[in-house]
Amino acid sequence: MSKSSLPRPRILMVYTGGTIGMQENPVTHALAPVDFHHLIDSVPKLKMLDFEIGSFQFERPIDSSAMTPGHWAEIAKVIEDNYESYDGFVVLHGTDTMAYTSSALSFMLENLDKPVIITGSQLPIGEVRTDGEENLITALQIAAARDASGQHMVREVAILFENYLWRGNRSTKRSADNFNAFKSNNYPELAKIGLGITYNREALWRGRNPGAPLKVHYNMDCNVLYMDLFPGIKEEVVKHMLATPGIKGVVLKTFGAGNGPTDPWFFEAIRKTVEKGIVVVNITQCTNGSVHPFRYQTGMELAQCGVVSGHDLTSEAAITKLMHLLGRGMSADEVKNYMELSLCGEISS
């Protein structure tokens, strides 16, 4: 189908809460989420878009710091139920956990070949200097965008914020104050937003199985934890964390190219954890770059203990990928294998 013969774009907006839809409480002056219709009424310009816009809102919109895998499943279900009827999806979401949600959804929505654009704002949409209005309108335009052959321009979960479109599972919230609140430290932008929207076509995800039906994986296993290393971390603390009952996966946040303390007790604790069938994934604390397990002796010893390299995964993508793979009921060996492979563009190969 050529671009000009296409019908009006049909976009579904999913409102979960976040600052974009918040209002100040007149007594406490704290921001709290309000109803979706208030949000829509605040953007009369939406009527200028020649789109058919449907909407769904969480029964109780939330501050995204209250986000849970149950909420991710709710968003995924709305997308699955409406997948055939809409061209694209715009999810309005708080910024605090947006990078977790965008990473989680990228794994949950297997074979996604339509745009799922997540956005929000730093200032509520009702405020004079809000960034919410522009973010919302640009997100809708991206969700409706087609290439010259009439195909969806974006076929993945992405975050639109201020001047950039980022891959969802490569994004991190980098600022609590700046309008450009997100960044992808290990992957280029999918689009730059200026006077126009300029897509970085080489960077856009093109699925492994074009035409394959959407398959949604709802189950996320929360028996995971982060262990963030620092010089002086105590043996008792490490052993206590690794002995957490029911734990199945650990994201180990290491120094530099994947290094940690060189004390024998540390390697011993990690080795015993791996032997128990717990998956330990090594990611770097650096904002940019990758784990190189064989560059230094200490990283190599971790690898010899059975720790798997998370390469250049963000910390949000590492934990949600682990939750996703464990949630699919895979064995520890299968999880280890998939952690090293790119499922939907989350790792540089």
Q: How far apart are CA 315 and CA 321, in angstroms?
A: 10
Residue among 12, 13, 15, 19 that touches ligand ASP (CB under 6 A): 19
Nearer to ligand ASP, 93 or 167 (CB): 93
How, if at all, do strands 191-193 and 197-199 pair?
antiparallel
Tokens (6 digits) for 34 = 């309000």
Least separation in angstroms between residue 41's CB and ligand ASP is: 19
Out of 94, 115, 249, 260, name the contact with ligand ASP by CB under 6 A. 94
Q: Which of 167, 162, 43 is nearest to 115 (CA)?
A: 167
Question: Which residues lie below 8 Å from residue 34, measured CB to CB, with a gap of 6+?
Answer: 21, 22, 23, 61
* Least distance from ligand ASP to the Cβ atom of residue 142, Å: 19
**Residues annotated catalytic, as ranges:** 19
64 versus 106: smaller Cβ distance to ligand ASP: 64
Burial per residue of 308-320, b for 16 or more beta-carbon CB atoms within 10 angstroms, e otherwise: bbbbbbbbbbbbb
| Interface with ligand ASP (CB under 6 A), residue from 96, 189, 301, 346 | 96
Say if strands 10-17 and 215-216 run parallel, antiparallel, or are unpaired.
unpaired
Cross-strand bridge partners of residue 117 = 90, 158
> Which residues are registered as beta bridge partners of 308?
281
Q: Which residue is nearest to ligand ASP (CB)?
A: 94
Give the integer Cα–Cα distance in Å for 167 and 144: 17
State the nearest-atom distance from the C-beta of 44 to ligand ASP, in Å: 22
Q: Shortest Cβ distance from residue 160 to ligand ASP (Å)?
A: 14
Alpha helices by DSSP H, the chain = 36-41, 69-81, 98-108, 132-144, 235-242, 264-275, 297-304, 315-327, 332-339
Q: Which is nearer to ligand ASP, 58 or 255 (CB)?
A: 58
Number of residues in contact with ligand ASP, rule: CB under 6 A? 11
State yes or no: residue 18 binds ligand ASP (CB under 6 A): yes
First to last CA, the chain: 34
The answer to the question of residue 113 lying near ligand ASP (CB under 6 A) is no
Residues in 44-73 at the binding interface with ligand ASP, rule: CB under 6 A = 63-65
Task: Indicate the residue among 63 and 156 with the shorter CB distance to ligand ASP.
Answer: 63
From the CB of 23, what's the least distance to ligand ASP, in Å?
13
The answer to the question of residue 301 lying near ligand ASP (CB under 6 A) is no
Min separation Cβ 246 and ligand ASP, Å: 28
In the complex with ligand ASP, the residue whose CB is nearer, 94 or 126, is 94
Binding residues (CB under 6 A) for ligand ASP: these are: 17-19, 63-65, 94-96, 120, 122
